[in-house]
Structure 1
Amino acid sequence: MAAPTVTAPAAPVRPAPQNPTRDAYRWPARVFVLPGLLIVAVLLYLPFVWTSYLSLTEYNGLGDPEFVGLEKYQAMFADAGFATSLRNTLFWVLGTLVFPVGFGLLIAVLAHGIKGSFWYRVPFLLPYAISGVAVGVIWTFILQSGGALDEALMFLNLPGADLRWLLDAPLNTFVMIAAATWQGAGVNALLFGIGLQSIPKEPIEAARLDGASGWTLFRTMTWPMLTPLTTVVIGLSIVGSLKQFDIIWAMTKGGPGASSETLALTMYKETFVSNDYGFGAAVAVFLTVVTVAASVIYLRRQLADAKGA
């Protein structure tokens, strides 16, 4: 007869030990963070709350705002000029993602691995040191009617000398995106170059031994390893394109008429040129919501893809 099996009693479950060090530093850490939170609240949140209130009022900068509810938002969405600004802003977002980011990546990949590659990137990086207004002035000299580009095309007997680069829409928006590309591609190339240098060499060498090269090597190995940096670059590009102002103001001031305005220019002109603070505030609130929503949706999608990988 087999002996009965004796089961040892289960060990009592003890609570996880507390970390007195972490608890001791929790409140001091909050005290140190508090000044930064107050600065953010004063410089960002409170102005946004005040702007949101102004968007519900009729106000010309003098006297007291008169509450009108959602009238300014209704007028904004019914305005044909707002639709043009929204279209041009979309052009800027798409153009900034394709050209400055795309050219920056291309420059970084072509220069990567070349001895003294930094000096190949310097000519593309120099325009980034120039202010947006200066970039607009330079490109206005090139693209204005009878400007440097028209003279060069006429001298070389090439087509395009009769084009009104800054006067016809949406051509004026496209050439201003080209100016922004000239300014921004270099810094994107620098960022992508740093990302390429941080990629470990062992997986790349293993892929080369397996026969991968050229586009296949870049698509299957290099590009996935650049994903974290690409997320940052594209996120910054989206936010920057939604707020683009200085180059457009220096080159066309949103004209002729309002044909090249973006949401940022519409906000400025309605507030400080037309003195319609309520309408300008409504555009500002709409632009803020779009910018935050675009950033959050993009980052959440990238983080979800990273977790699923």
Structure 2
Amino acid sequence: MSALSESDQKLLERIGTDRIAMRERKTRRRNFATALLFMAPALLLVCGMLLYPVLFNIWLSFTDWRKFKGLDTFVGFQNYKRLFGQIYFAEAAFNTMIWVVASLVVPVILGLGIAILLRGVRFENAFKNLIFLPRVLAPTAVGVIWFYVYAPTGLLNYLLSLVTGETVSVGWLYQANTVTPAIIATHVWQTVGIVMVLLLLGLSAVPRDPVEAAQMDGAKPWQTYFHVILPILTPTLVVVTIISVLAGFTAFDLLWVMGSTYPSQRTLSLVVFMYFEAFQKGGWAFGGAIAVVIGVLVLLVTWIQALLQARAERMVR
């Protein structure tokens, strides 16, 4: 039997390579089909409970559908024109931005300070449990508790009366210049615990070598924290920032429970505005338009934060 020529050998090798590639493609398709079969229940649940409601809400925002009337007619962008033309929308958007900034700045700074101060102190676990305790309470329950704390005859005015020696009966939730700071303070009281825990986890993962090297070089404690620990802690801070910003965008429970004078513009947020228009006034299509706007804002902010997180991770590396 004569030996194969060089071209025939290359042809056989190519055929063998093609068969191997075909076999690998069949295996990948079979594995994908198997994985899809196992994921089918979860996919159906996600599509039924998440994707379908989102798509239906988007379609709903382009109709004049009202409570118990059904999908009447397609009205295009009429709901959005009405929304952007309302003074309540501008006030709700402004108040939401206040909530986003307050939910980001105050809990993160306060939580970071507490996390740094509690490391290595006596009774550390007891203090951490005490600070984290409000987080396990339902926001509605927290709102009811602090509603009575801020009442004219509540605990806060009682303590102020003891300190000042005069009778204090300020209606903290009934005055335009105090209602928003009062509710934000309640929000911080409930959320600072989870921020503290996340930052404590991040601090526990900081390697000792760069910290000890900075101390050997004569760096002061504040210089070590600002120039060594904080850059390493950046990914954790980004995660905390995302959680805090989303909490600000979706603030509802405390505002609805404690802002008893709604629709007072001082306590109006986009989520509260959506709930009031959709469920109190029955304008579900108009409420759907507000929900779409909120979703777009959240996606935009999340996208910006993802870019910042990627950049922060590159800086740490």
Give TM-score scaled by structure 2 length: 0.86
Counterpart amino acid of residue 155 in structure 1: L
CA contact (8 A) 1:267 1:280 kept: yes
| Residue of 24, 35, 42 corresponding to 2:41 | 35
Counterpart amino acid of residue 70 in structure 1: F
Counterpart amino acid of residue 283 in structure 1: I
Partner Cα separation in structure 2 for residue 296 and residue 127 of structure 1: 30
Can you give the 5+ residue segments of structure 1 that lack an aligned partner in the other structure? 1-11
The answer to which structure has the higher helix fraction is: 2
Partner Cα separation in structure 1 for residue 283 and residue 166 of structure 2: 44
Residue number in structure 1 paired with 2:271: 264
CA contact (8 A) 2:150 2:172 kept: yes
Shift of 1:91: 0.7
Residue number in structure 1 paired with 2:3: none
CA contact (8 A) 2:144 2:258 kept: yes
Q: Is 1:128 aligned to 2:135, yes or no?
A: yes
CA contact (8 A) 2:274 2:291 kept: yes
How is 1:57-76 mapped onto 2 (pairs within 5 angstroms)? 57-65=63-71, 66-76=73-83
Partner Cα separation in structure 2 for residue 248 and residue 202 of structure 1: 46
Partner Cα separation in structure 1 for residue 89 and residue 200 of structure 2: 39
Calculate percent identity across the aligned residue pairs.
Answer: 30
- Listed one character per residue, the Cα deviations across residues 96-138 of structure 1 (whole Å, up to 9, x for unaligned) are 1111122111111111133542222111011111110111111
CA contact (8 A) 2:139 2:253 kept: yes
Counterpart amino acid of residue 181 in structure 2: F
Counterpart amino acid of residue 200 in structure 1: P
Name the CA shift for 1:192/1:158 in 2 (closer, same or farther; >3 Å): farther
Residue number in structure 2 paired with 1:291: 298
Give TM-score scaled by structure 1 length: 0.88
Name the CA shift for 1:152/1:117 in 2 (closer, same or farther; >3 Å): closer
How is 1:273-284 mapped onto 2 (pairs within 5 angstroms)? 273-284=280-291
- Listed one character per residue, the Cα deviations across residues 58-91 of structure 1 (whole Å, up to 9, x for unaligned) are 1221223232211111111111111111111111
Residue number in structure 2 paired with 1:171: 178
Residue number in structure 1 paired with 2:218: 211
Can you give the 5+ residue segments of structure 2 that lack an aligned partner in the other structure? 1-9
| Residue of 166, 185, 202 corresponding to 2:209 | 202
Name the CA shift for 1:263/1:210 in 2 (closer, same or farther; >3 Å): same
Shift of 1:232: 1.2
Say which SS state the counterpart of residue 141 (structure 2) adopts. helix
Deviates more, 1:163-172 or 1:233-242: 163-172
CA contact (8 A) 2:176 2:266 kept: yes
Partner Cα separation in structure 1 for residue 109 and residue 261 of structure 2: 26
Partner Cα separation in structure 2 for residue 128 and residue 189 of structure 1: 11
Residue number in structure 2 paired with 1:138: 145
Name the CA shift for 1:238/1:281 in 2 (closer, same or farther; >3 Å): same
How is 1:181-260 mapped onto 2 (pairs within 5 angstroms)? 181-253=188-260, 255=262, 257-260=264-267
Name the CA shift for 1:44/1:256 in 2 (closer, same or farther; >3 Å): closer
Partner Cα separation in structure 2 for residue 59 and residue 52 of structure 1: 12
| Residue of 31, 49, 56 corresponding to 1:50 | 56
Name the CA shift for 1:120/1:36 in 2 (closer, same or farther; >3 Å): same
Partner Cα separation in structure 1 for residue 265 and residue 258 of structure 2: 13
Name the CA shift for 1:100/1:159 in 2 (closer, same or farther; >3 Å): farther
Shift of 1:169: 2.6
Name the CA shift for 1:177/1:71 in 2 (closer, same or farther; >3 Å): same
- Listed one character per residue, the Cα deviations across residues 11-67 of structure 1 (whole Å, up to 9, x for unaligned) are x9x98x979598364443343334333322221111011111111121221223232
| Residue of 102, 106, 114 corresponding to 1:107 | 114
Name the CA shift for 1:249/1:29 in 2 (closer, same or farther; >3 Å): same
Partner Cα separation in structure 1 for residue 82 and residue 274 of structure 2: 14
Alignment size in residue pairs? 297
Shift of 1:207: 1.1
CA contact (8 A) 1:248 1:254 kept: no
Say which SS state the counterpart of residue 145 (structure 1) adopts. coil
Residue number in structure 2 paired with 1:87: 94
Partner Cα separation in structure 1 for residue 40 and residue 33 of structure 2: 11
Partner Cα separation in structure 1 for residue 223 and residue 300 of structure 2: 34
Name the CA shift for 1:123/1:61 in 2 (closer, same or farther; >3 Å): same
Shift of 1:168: 2.4
Partner Cα separation in structure 1 for residue 229 and residue 40 of structure 2: 41
Deviates more, 1:21-30 or 1:248-257: 21-30
Shift of 1:193: 0.9
Say which SS state the counterpart of residue 57 (structure 1) adopts. coil
- Listed one character per residue, the Cα deviations across residues 265-301 of structure 1 (whole Å, up to 9, x for unaligned) are 1111101111111111111111111111111111122
